[in-house]
Amino acid sequence: MAKNKFNKNWLHDHINDPYVKLAQKEGYRARAAYKLKEIDEEEKLIRPGQIIVDLGCTPGSWSQYVRNKLAGQDGGGIHGTIIGLDMLPMEPIANVNFIQGDFREQAVLEQLEAVVGGRKVDLVLSDMAPNLSGIAISDAARVEDLIDLAIEFARAHMKPSGALLVKCFNGTGYSQLVEKFRQEFKTVTQKKPKASRDKSSEIFLLGKVLKHPSS
């Protein structure tokens, strides 16, 4: 009974959520687009000409937002390169190079290298989140694994002056993640955009300028 009540409450909140309505009106696949939009507007992360990688991109609202930012005024193509990676399929988005697979695997990295063509990435985005079990310690470990992967990816593929934005959760293990970011990046900022639900412990970490870039 309690589960039904929870589902009904969630559905009621979801249907009446202003960001859900806005996403439907503006053609975004998920309300998550507005989290990135707010962070981008504050931090000026996305600029024409950049190479941007969106890790865990499905269903694609972050890639949609990036595409809109890089689109030319003439309605033609985009000024820049967007690469979306996910193990799940994604409906195509114009001008987004989508690679389905696990980016820890060589074949997937080779596809990425083919698109990037020897250039380094300006910005790495990760809205990846594990399936949470509700068991704080194991959930914290799963979140940390994904953050480690994103950091590793950034160290291997990003310009030293680049930036990495990841989703994490403010709870068990969070302070260690912030510390991990501080070891890797010269500046670290914590972001809780308005589009992130108040009840959610979701928080975003932004690291700029690598301390130990790979050669």
pLDDT tens readout for residues 126-151:
999 898 888 989 999 999 999 999 99
Phi, psi of 18, rounded to the nearest 5 degrees: -60, -30
Topology (CATH) of 30-210 = Rossmann fold (3.40.50)
Binding site annotation covers 60? yes
Binding site annotation covers 62? yes
pLDDT tens readout for residues 31-73:
999 999 999 999 999 999 999 999 999 999 999 999 999 996 6
Binding site annotation covers 86? yes
Q: Where are the domains of the chain?
A: 30-210
User: Please, is 198 exposed, middle or buried when counting C-beta atoms within 10 Å of its C-beta (0-12, 13-18, 19+)?
Assistant: exposed
Binding site annotation covers 72? no
Phi, psi of 212, rounded to the nearest 5 degrees: -130, 65
Active site positions, annotated: 167
